[in-house]
């Protein structure tokens, strides 16, 4: 009997990937642990090792295919020759054939998206009881809502009504079909794959699940810029880049320690807030294929020079597509800096689910600022001002908490002495 190899679970929240390369051919002899496929999933490429030692019998995928966890990718021969298999088949009786082909009564998984499954768990709905309306028997979120509402009505004690009972019609807004754009001119259809596909799914999840609230501020980084320029060359000799993002990573780690409610995730299923005792800062890196977020682990315990070197190496490997999946996971807080691309004003970043906050930074610019002198007079002076914005998950955090977090972050960056004391 041939042995089937299915796409294994590759990590947290990963359900599918794109086959980048098939590294074996039919008839190849492979050993357990030999790479057989390269799959790109959740913004990283990973080599899939063979779980068996044997002969590749059939390859069921090709480069460019989208595959899901649990899908059969390759089958391996059990070592029997075609002649032996033919002899065994000839010796089968009608009874053994019937036994081999008889249904087991075992039900397969109900087709439904991860978001729909999560919704069913939250509403206490058994998916196998829901009538599907989607293509191929897919159970949709609307199906789950409709079933839950019917279930609630069935469980209610009917009240005595003076007049006829009018059944409420569930309100839902289905995604409308797109128009035929080719009616107005030439079009091109480009498959949504790889990093852009993963980004689209992650952003849809984050925006649909998290009620975002944003707070804005401005940070005077004049003194910090003097310090940065003073030590920039020294850090470059160590292989790092002393950018404002490096200081922001350190200040954010200190702020997370000061305000631990920002270093959490919300578990809707269990009704619990998961507080983490580690401080892993993700930093969004701009690549040709989109934003990817490598993670600086234990940023609170690393020196500025260490962060500068590590961040530079992570960003380089990310842009060269050499980053590992492990280095993209485990973040507790994310920083995104649009300043390097020329972004000047405030913007509204989307929280990196399942985190509960994200900090956005824009380019620092010289501005006239009113300052107070020691003699209680006022003067206008040129200062280097950097806009920042903090987006929070309003299910677990409030606006005042965001203001306090930003104030701590701002004070840490505005005075290098404050930053030193914070770390």
Residues 47-66: tens digit of each pLDDT: 788 888 889 999 999 988 88
In a domain, 139, yes or no: no
Query: Is residue 222 over pLDDT 50?
Result: yes
Do 70 and 218 belong together in one domain?
no
Domain boundary among the residues 69, 100, 131 is at 100
pLDDT band of 164, cuts 50, 70, 90:
low
Indicate which residues carry an active-site annotation. 394
**What integer pLDDT is reported at residue 147 of this predicted model?**
86
More confident residue, 2 or 39: 39
Do 87 and 218 belong together in one domain?
no
pLDDT band of 87, cuts 50, 70, 90:
low
Kindly state the average pLDDT of the residues 236-256: 96
Query: Is residue 103 over pLDDT 50?
Result: no
Do 406 and 281 belong together in one domain?
yes
**What integer pLDDT is reported at residue 145 of this predicted model?**
80
Query: Is residue 265 over pLDDT 70?
Result: yes
pLDDT band of 92, cuts 50, 70, 90:
low
Kindly state the average pLDDT of the residues 159-187: 69
In a domain, 56, yes or no: yes
Residue entry with tokens 């977020």 = 293
**What integer pLDDT is reported at residue 377 of this predicted model?**
86
Q: Distances in Å between the alpha carbon of 11 and those of 14, 111, 247, 314, 343? A: 6, 21, 30, 20, 34
Cβ–Cβ < 8 Å for 31, 52: no
Query: Is residue 120 over pLDDT 90?
Result: no
**What integer pLDDT is reported at residue 99 of this predicted model?**
43
Cβ–Cβ < 8 Å for 209, 13: no
Kindly state the average pLDDT of the residues 380-387: 95
Can you read off the two tokens belonging to residue 345?
């004003």
Domain boundary among the residues 100, 135, 154 is at 100
Torsion of CA 214, 216, 222, 225, to 10 degrees: 20
Beta-ladder partners of 264: 275
Residue 357's nearest CA partner among 389, 387, 325 is 389
Domain boundary among the residues 76, 100, 124 is at 100
What residues have CB less than 8 Å from 316, skipping those under 6 apart? Answer: none
Q: What percent of the chain has pLDDT over 70?
A: 81
Query: Is residue 224 over pLDDT 70?
Result: yes
Of 5-14, 37-46, 366-375, give the range with the top mean pLDDT: 366-375
pLDDT band of 97, cuts 50, 70, 90:
very low
Do 269 and 388 belong together in one domain?
yes
Do 92 and 215 belong together in one domain?
no
Query: Is residue 168 over pLDDT 70?
Result: no
The values of phi and psi at residue 72, to 5°, are: -70, 125
Q: Which of 163-172, 268-277, 362-371 is the least confident region?
A: 163-172
In a domain, 199, yes or no: no
**Strand, helix or coil for residue 52:** coil
Kindly state the average pLDDT of the residues 375-399: 93
The DSSP element (H or E) to which 385 belongs, if any, is strand 378-393
More confident residue, 311 or 66: 311
**What integer pLDDT is reported at residue 330 of this predicted model?**
94
Kindly state the average pLDDT of the residues 318-340: 92
Do 96 and 218 belong together in one domain?
no
Q: Concatenated DSSP letters for 73-87?
A: EEEEE-S--HHHHHH
Instruction: Give the C-alpha separation, 161 to 156, whole Å.
Output: 14
Do 230 and 379 belong together in one domain?
yes
Kindly state the average pLDDT of the residues 243-265: 97
Order of strands, sheet of 44-49, starting from the edge strand that comes earlier in the sequence: 44-49, 35-41, 16-22, 66-68
Torsion of CA 378, 379, 383, 388, to 10 degrees: 30
Q: Distances in Å between the alpha carbon of 114 and those of 15, 28, 89, 201, 228? A: 8, 36, 42, 11, 45
Cβ–Cβ < 8 Å for 418, 412: yes
pLDDT band of 146, cuts 50, 70, 90:
confident
**What integer pLDDT is reported at residue 156 of this predicted model?**
54
What residues have CB less than 8 Å from 1, skipping those under 6 apart? Answer: 78
CATH number of the domain that residue 79 is part of:
2.40.50.100
pLDDT band of 21, cuts 50, 70, 90:
confident
Can you read off the two tokens belonging to residue 234?
């020294």
Do 217 and 362 belong together in one domain?
yes
Cβ–Cβ < 8 Å for 7, 49: no
Kindly state the average pLDDT of the residues 340-366: 91
Whether cis (ω within 30° of 0) applies to the bond prior to 354 is yes
In a domain, 331, yes or no: yes
Kindly state the average pLDDT of the residues 375-403: 94
More confident residue, 45 or 308: 308
Query: Is residue 200 over pLDDT 80?
Result: yes
**What integer pLDDT is reported at residue 125 of this predicted model?**
82
The DSSP element (H or E) to which 414 belongs, if any, is helix 399-414
Instruction: Give the C-alpha separation, 274 to 271, whole Å.
Output: 10
Query: What integer best gives the mean pLDDT of the chain?
Result: 84
Query: Is residue 45 over pLDDT 60?
Result: yes
In a domain, 88, yes or no: yes
pLDDT band of 223, cuts 50, 70, 90:
very high
In a domain, 177, yes or no: no
**What integer pLDDT is reported at residue 160 of this predicted model?**
47
More confident residue, 398 or 418: 398
Residue 53's nearest CA partner among 73, 79, 71, 72 is 79
pLDDT band of 100, cuts 50, 70, 90:
very low
Q: What is the DSSP letter of 230?
A: H
Residue 333's nearest CA partner among 279, 413, 297 is 279
**What integer pLDDT is reported at residue 195 of this predicted model?**
79
**What integer pLDDT is reported at residue 109 of this predicted model?**
55
Residue 220's nearest CA partner among 388, 79, 390 is 388
Query: Is residue 111 over pLDDT 60?
Result: yes
The parent domain of residue 55 ranges over 3-100
**What integer pLDDT is reported at residue 411 of this predicted model?**
95
Do 271 and 391 belong together in one domain?
yes
In the chain, the number of structural domains is 2
In a domain, 197, yes or no: no
CATH number of the domain that residue 396 is part of:
3.30.559.10
Q: Concatenated DSSP letters for 248-313?
A: HHHHHHHHHHH-GGGSEEEETTTTEEEE-SS--EEE-EEETTEEE--EETTGGGS-HHHHHHHHHH
Long-range contacts of 240-243 (CB under 8 A, 24+ apart): 240/305, 240/308, 240/309, 240/310, 240/311, 240/312, 241/308, 241/311, 241/312, 242/304, 242/308, 243/308, 243/311, 243/337
Can you read off the two tokens belonging to residue 64?
């460019």
In a domain, 182, yes or no: no
Cα angle value 131/137/140 (rounded, 5°)? 65
């Amino acid at each position: 009997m041939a042995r089937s190899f299915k796409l294994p679970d590759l990590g947290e929240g990963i359900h599918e990937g794109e086959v980048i390369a098939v590294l074996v051919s039919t008839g190849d002899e492979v050993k357990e642990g030999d790479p057989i496929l390269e799959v790109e999933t959740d913004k990283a490429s990973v080599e899939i090792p063979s779980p068996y030692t044997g002969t590749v019998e059939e390859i069921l995928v090709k480069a460019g295919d989208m595959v899901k966890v649990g899908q059969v990718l390759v089958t391996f021969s059990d070592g029997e020759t075609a002649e032996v298999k033919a002899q065994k088949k000839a010796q089968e009786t009608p009874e053994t054939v019937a036994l081999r082909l008889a249904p087991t009564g075992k039900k397969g998984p109900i087709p439904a998206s991860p978001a729909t499954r999560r919704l069913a768990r939250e509403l206490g709905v058994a998916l196998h009881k829901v009538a599907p309306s989607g293509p191929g028997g897919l159970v949709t979120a609307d199906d789950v809502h409709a079933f839950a509402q019917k279930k609630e009505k069935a469980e209610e004690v009917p009240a005595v009504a003076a007049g006829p009972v009018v059944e409420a019609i569930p309100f839902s807004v289905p995604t409308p079909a797109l128009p035929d754009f080719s009616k107005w001119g030439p079009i091109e259809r480009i498959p949504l794959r790889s990093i852009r596909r993963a980004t689209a799914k992650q952003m849809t999840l984050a925006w649909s699940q998290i009620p975002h609230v944003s707070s804005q501020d401005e940070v005077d980084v004049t003194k910090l810029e003097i310090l940065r320029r003073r030590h920039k060359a020294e850090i470059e000799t160590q292989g790092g880049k002393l950018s404002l993002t490096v200081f922001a990573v350190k200040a954010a780690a200190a702020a997370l320690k000061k305000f631990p409610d920002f270093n959490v995730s919300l578990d809707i299923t269990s009704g619990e807030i998961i507080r983490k005792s580690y401080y892993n800062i993700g930093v969004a890196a701009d690549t040709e294929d989109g934003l990817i977020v490598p993670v600086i682990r234990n940023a609170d315990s690393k020196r500025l020079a260490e962060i500068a070197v590590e961040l530079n190496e992570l960003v380089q490997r990310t842009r060269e597509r050499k980053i590992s999946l492990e280095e993209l996971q485990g973040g507790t807080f994310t920083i995104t800096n649009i300043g390097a691309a020329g972004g000047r004003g405030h913007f509204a970043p989307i929280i990196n689910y399942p985190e509960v906050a994200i900090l956005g930074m824009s380019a620092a610019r010289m501005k006239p600022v009113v300052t107070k002198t020691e003699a209680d007079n006022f003067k206008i002076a040129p200062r280097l001002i950097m806009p920042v914005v903090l987006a929070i998950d309003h299910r677990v955090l409030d606006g005042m908490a965001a203001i306090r977090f930003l104030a701590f972050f701002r004070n840490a960056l505005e005075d290098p002495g404050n930053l030193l004391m914070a770390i």
